[in-house]
Amino acid sequence: MPESSEWLHEEMLRGGQMASLVLKRGQILQLTDVDGGACLSVLLFNADFPLERYNMPDTLKAQHIARLTAGNVLYSDMGRVLCSVVADSLGWHDTITGVMDARVMTEKYGVGSYQALRNERHRNGRDNLLVELAKFGLGKRDFGPNVNFFVKVEPDASGQLRFITAHSPPGSSVELRAELNTLLVLSATPHPLDPEPRYLPKSVKLSIRAGKAATADDACFRSCPENARGFALTEAYFR
């Protein structure tokens, strides 16, 4: 664990809050579920050319996975690696069940308006991410399947899904290393399948430190032959 002086940037996302940041190639973003039970919903884009973006199916089929953990990478729709998952205390992060919208939020928690609650108002992943996307000229058409860090929704043998409660204990963390300059748009808001009946969004800490892009001896590079080719295409992009 680096000394606090090694962090280039630290930011606490309060439960319900959204943010965006550009992680430069090689930099590492550590995400920490401070109190446990967080859901950090994230969309990712090539910061230099945002038409290139995270592609859930390409990520899953290249690595023969239905979840994300250390050793996996997040592919763009152009065969390149946006980010590598270089550390993970959990073993499972969701990318197949999306985010909550305003309609589902009201059905689940009732009305939580600004007028009544001021800045404790209820906020949902879809609205938060749309606001943050708009700051980069992006919108609904750019809103594809996202990653839900700290969330596990497990399929059984027949494909039925079950939300795993208490999956992420306090202090759980996952680290992403940018392989392209990556725009991340993030929202710390409850997952729509979380059975908790009260609106209790959880905080997530964001910490960025310097690092180096993957080389051929990297665990993500070596985890499958597909990733070696994905990194080769990524390297070629910067040549």
Partner 1 sequence: MTLHESSLDPTHAAFRRVLESGLGFSHVVRKGEAFRIVDLEGNQAVDTLFFSARDTAERYSAVDTIRRQGAVYLTTGSALVSSEGNVLLTITADTCGRHDTLGGACAAESNQVRYALDKKYMHNCRDNFLLEIAERRPELSKRDLTANINFFMNVPVSPEGELHFEDGISAPGRYVEMRAETDVIVLISNCPQLNNPCNGYDPTPVELLVWSA
Positions in the binding site for partner 1 (CB under 8 A): 51, 55-58, 60-62, 64-67, 69, 75, 77-80, 92, 96-98, 101, 103-104, 139-146, 154-161, 192-193, 226, 229-230, 232-233
Distance CA 164, CA 153 (A): 6
Select 62 or 213, whichever has its Cβ closest to partner 1.
62
In sequence order, the 6+-apart residues with CB closer than 8 A to the CB of 202 are: 15, 33, 34, 35, 36, 37, 38, 39, 188, 190
- Shortest distance (Å) from residue 21 CB to partner 1: 22
- Shortest distance (Å) from residue 119 CB to partner 1: 26
- Shortest distance (Å) from residue 107 CB to partner 1: 11
Q: 214 in helix, strand or coil?
A: coil
Name the nearest CA neighbour of 192 among 125, 120, 95, 139. 125
Q: 188 in helix, strand or coil?
A: strand
Distance CA 127, CA 118 (A): 17
Select 75 or 149, whichever has its Cβ closest to partner 1.
75
- CB 46, CB 81: distance < 8 Å: no
- Shortest distance (Å) from residue 141 CB to partner 1: 4
- Shortest distance (Å) from residue 28 CB to partner 1: 23
Distance CA 193, CA 163 (A): 6
Select 52 or 175, whichever has its Cβ closest to partner 1.
52
- Shortest distance (Å) from residue 98 CB to partner 1: 3
The H-or-E segment that residue 63 falls in is helix 56-63
- Shortest distance (Å) from residue 3 CB to partner 1: 34
Select 55 or 182, whichever has its Cβ closest to partner 1.
55
Select 8 or 66, whichever has its Cβ closest to partner 1.
66
- CB 66, CB 154: distance < 8 Å: no
Select 19 or 65, whichever has its Cβ closest to partner 1.
65
Select 16 or 230, whichever has its Cβ closest to partner 1.
230
**Paired residues of 32 in beta bridges:** 173, 205
The H-or-E segment that residue 58 falls in is helix 56-63
Distance CA 49, CA 154 (A): 34
